[in-house]
Amino acid sequence: MNDILVFSEEVAAAKAERKPIVALESTIISHGMPYPENVQTAKEVEQLIRSRGAVPATIAIIDGKMKIGLTDDELEFLGTSRDIEKVSRRDLPYVVAKKKHGATTVAATMICAAMAGINVFATGGIGGVHRGAERTMDISADLQELAQTNVAVVCAGAKSILDLGLTLEYLETHGVPVLGYQTDILPAFYSRTSPFRVDYRLDSAEEIAQFIETKWALGLDGGIVVANPVPQEDELEESYITSIIEQALKEAEEKHITGKAVTPFLLDRVKTLTEGKSLKANIALVKNNAVLAADIARALS
C-alpha cells in the first residue's frame, strides 16, 4: 500500500507537522475545464489555500500511483494529456493495477483523501441523481461515497443538469447532511439559489468544523456536504443557464450518451453554449470553495 499511496514533499511535511490540509480533485482539471484555464485555476486554487494557512493536496493517479499532492508538471500533464481516464470508485483498481493515469472524481478523491488521513475537500460541484434517473438509473457514485466515507466536501451545490430534489432525497436516505454556508437555500452551482432548502444553515467555518467533529465523534460515519454559493458578482442568470442546460440534456439524449460520459458531455456542451461565461463562474466558485475549505480545515485542526 505504501508504494501505491504517494505523498508529495509538501503534503508529507504538512502531515508530519499536523498542519491543516485541503484535498482537491482532478477530474475538474482533465474533464471539467479547457486548457490553459484548467491548469491556471488548479495552481491558483492551491496558492489560495496556502495563503489561508492550509496546505493543498491535489489528488490524481499517475502511473498507477495514488498521488496525494502534485507537482506543477503533474498538474500540467493532467491538464493537457488526452491519456487521462476519469476515475470514480469503480475505476480505481483498474487504473492502479494497469499503472495508468487517472483524474479522480469527487468519489475517488474522497477515497484517496480518507486513505491519506485528509478530511476536508474542496471542489466545484458534486455529482448527483440525474434528471430522468427513474428511467436511466443514472446516479453518481459521489452520493454513495458521501454516504460512507469520512470527508467533508465543500462545493457550490450541484448543477441543474441534475435533479436537485432527488439528489437531496438520496442524501437524506443515506444520512448525509447538507449544510448551507451563510445560506438557507441550496445553491445550484452557477446560481446562488434553487427551489430547495439546505438541511442546516451555519454561518462560520468554526460552526461547520464543530458540526463535522460532532458527527464523527458520535460514530456517524460518512461525508458532509458544505454548500457555498457562487459569489454574487459571478452568478449567472437562472433562466439563462436553465435554457442552456435543457438544450445540453436534449443533445445528450439524442446522441444516446450514457454511463460515465454523461457528466463530461453535459459540462462541455454547457461551456460551449455559454461561450465561456460558465467557465468564468466555475473558476470563481472553485476559488471561493477553496478559501472556505481552508478555513474549515484550520478550525478542525
Residues designated as active site: 25, 159
Of 91 and 138, nearer to Mn ion (C-beta) is 138
Handedness of CA 143, 265, 22, 202 (dihedral sign): negative
Answer with the entry of ligand PSU, Mn ion, none that 125 interacts with (C-beta below 5 to 8 A by kind). Answer: ligand PSU
Binding site for Mn ion (CB under 5 A): 138
For ligand PSU, which residue of 20, 69, 102, 125 counts as binding (CB under 6 A)? Answer: 125
- The 240-269 contact track toward ligand PSU, x by CB under 6 A, reads --------------------x--x---x--
User: Residue 27, interface with ligand PSU (CB under 6 A)?
Assistant: yes
Question: What is the C-alpha to C-alpha distance for residues 277 and 294, in angstroms, rounded to an integer?
Answer: 27
User: Residue 106, interface with ligand PSU (CB under 6 A)?
Assistant: yes
Question: What is the C-alpha to C-alpha distance for residues 277 and 249, in angstroms, rounded to an integer?
Answer: 19
Q: How many other C-beta atoms lie within 10 A of the C-beta of residue 185? A: 18
Q: Which residues contact 268 (CB under 8 A, 6 or more apart)?
A: none
Of 101 and 130, nearer to Mn ion (C-beta) is 130
Task: List helix spans (H) across 255-276.
Answer: 262-273
Question: What is the C-alpha to C-alpha distance for residues 127 and 114, in angstroms, rounded to an integer?
Answer: 19
Alpha carbon 158 to its chain centroid, in Å, reads 10
User: Residue 192, interface with ligand PSU (CB under 6 A)?
Assistant: no
Of 157 and 180, nearer to ligand PSU (C-beta) is 157
Of 123 and 299, nearer to ligand PSU (C-beta) is 123
268 is in an annotated binding site: no
Least CB distance from residue 199 to Mn ion, whole Å?
24
256 SS3 class: coil
141 is in an annotated binding site: yes
User: Residue 235, interface with ligand PSU (CB under 6 A)?
Assistant: no
Query: 32 to 91, contacts with ligand PSU by CB under 6 A?
Result: 32, 88
**3 state SS for 161-177:** CECHHHHHHHHHHCCCC
Burial of 64 per CB tally in 10 Å (0-12, 13-18, 19+): middle
Q: Which cell numbers hold the place of 25? A: 480533485
42 is in an annotated binding site: no
Question: What residue numbers does the annotated binding site cover?
Answer: 86, 106, 138, 140-142
Q: Give the residues lining the site for ligand PSU (CB under 6 A).
A: 25, 27-28, 32, 88, 105-106, 124-125, 127, 140-142, 159, 189, 260, 263, 267
